[in-house]
Amino acid sequence: MSDKIYIFDTTLRDGEQSPGASMNMQEKFRLAQQLVKLNVDIIEAGFPIASSGDFDCVKNIADNVKEVQVAGLARCNKKDIDTAWDALKKGSNPRIHTFLATSDIHMKYKLKMDRDQVLSLAEDSVKYASKYTSNVEFSAEDASRSDLDFVCTVFEAVINAGATTLNFPDTTGYALPNEFGNQIRYLMENIPNIDKAVLSVHCHNDLGLAVANSLAAINNGARQVECTINGIGERAGNTAMEELAMVIRTRADQMTVHTDLVTENIYPSSRMVSTITGMPVQPNKAIVGGNAFAHESGIHQDGVLKERTTYEIMDPADIGLSKGNLVLGKHSGRHALKSRIEILGYNLKDDELDRVFVRFKELADVKKDMFDEDLEAILMDEVLRIPETYKLVYMGAMSGSKALPTASVRLEIDEEEVEASAIGVGPIDATFRAIAILTKTKSKLLYFAVSSITGGTDAQGEVMVRIEGDDGKIVVGQGADPDITTAAARAYLNGLNRLIYLKKETGSKNK
């Protein structure tokens, strides 16, 4: 019988550290529910000490998601550990995940501690965490660039102190697969009490090797992998869960291990993360990219039509990818809509379904065919939206080859409707200028991208913006509409509302 690989999902913690990918409590909870459907083993819900908002998100998930272990991150100090436990304590077998750097470069320049001090602090912190729970994980930050004998010494000590999971991160994405595999083998052979703990890895993708390094670690004894959906995370991201899972499933003859993931929920999970974070999946992304199962070459098309396995090593259905999602139109009813939304991974309350149904009918009147991506855009606006300080009531724009681009915008701000007009370089610039007048924002537009959600001239336009607030915080805003200028207005307002949300969260923390 093959060994199980435990899937530790850190999309809600490390994944959220992608620039502009912050999520609110509602979004995090919906994603946690989707991770339960995916059947991950551990959800790292956040870093409770980081902010009151992060604490509340971790607590909300630990209190209400009982099907999996919920973990909270903590540095090696009592205040962090106490705060993590306060957030986690009502969970089902909650995990305190504490970490401390072990590389010489981190100890010298960041921690300003010697090896004896690091060893003592790691041991004492795990002992302290073990007073709360027997489910304690210790991570040796920057382990792949650490002296392996020192890591072995630290790991042996923290196991004796109560750690049941040991995490060996490639924090900077520096290691090569054969090198990383050899490091894991060395740990397995040189830690006397390693049989009392699960060895885990957490690989970053700076050199594009996160999945390869994780696989090398598995082949040498690691039995937990820390990963994220779509591989999002700090800098170049983390090990992509979907890639790791499908390698293990597709090459079971070579891997001789298994996960308990329900892989049919991979694609809906990927779409949900992309929709919530505003981070589109590149078309050539393995497993979940738009081109992953596309065949344009005539030779390939002929082969697939004769026998799918000639050019497809995976069945699209194995990741939950429906080839025929064109099922809805203006004559579709509420029940059909609800059913399709549930297939996409969303369970809506009655009032949420009512709002989505109204928007669906409005769009269906002007758009002949409705796709899953259209529904997800509506869900983003009507269900996954954060509390709106600024609400779009009306907007109109005029432009042309010889016309002066002008826009008029009416917003609801604090239950009062206000209106402004502006001239710009183009209709979208004019719209943004009018919004800036009404909101008095001093934010900077860092990035603007527009794409078609589906094919056809009646397709919805999807706009994604990245905005930097006057306090330096960066957020992503999204908007969709058949009219691209309206979509841009929705995206800009979504970003501004996210900035306000973050300011309120920070203000709450500082009180």
pLDDT tens-digit readout, 399-430: 988 889 999 999 999 889 999 999 999 999 99
Domains of the chain in sequence order: 3-277 (3.20.20.70), 298-382 (no CATH), 390-510 (3.30.160.270)
Candidates 200, 262, 239, 154; CA nearest to 5 is 200
pTM (predicted TM-score): 0.84
Q: What is the CA radius of gyration of the chain?
A: 24
Q: What percent of the chain has pLDDT over 90?
A: 65
pLDDT tens-digit readout, 168-225: 999 999 999 999 999 999 999 999 999 999 999 999 999 999 999 999 999 999 999 9
pLDDT above 60 (res 300) = no
pLDDT tens-digit readout, 240-290: 999 999 999 999 999 999 999 999 999 989 988 988 887 888 889 999 987
pLDDT bracket for residue 298 (50, 70, 90): low
DSSP string, 200-247: EEEEB-TTS-HHHHHHHHHHTT--EEEEBGGG--STT-B-BHHHHHHH
Q: Which residue has the tokens 């602090």?
A: 121
Rounded to an integer, what distance in angstroms lies between the CA atom of residue 85 and that of residue 342?
A: 33
> 493 to each of 26, 291, 340, 370, 496, how far by Cα in Å?
19, 31, 28, 25, 5
pLDDT at residue number 328: 73
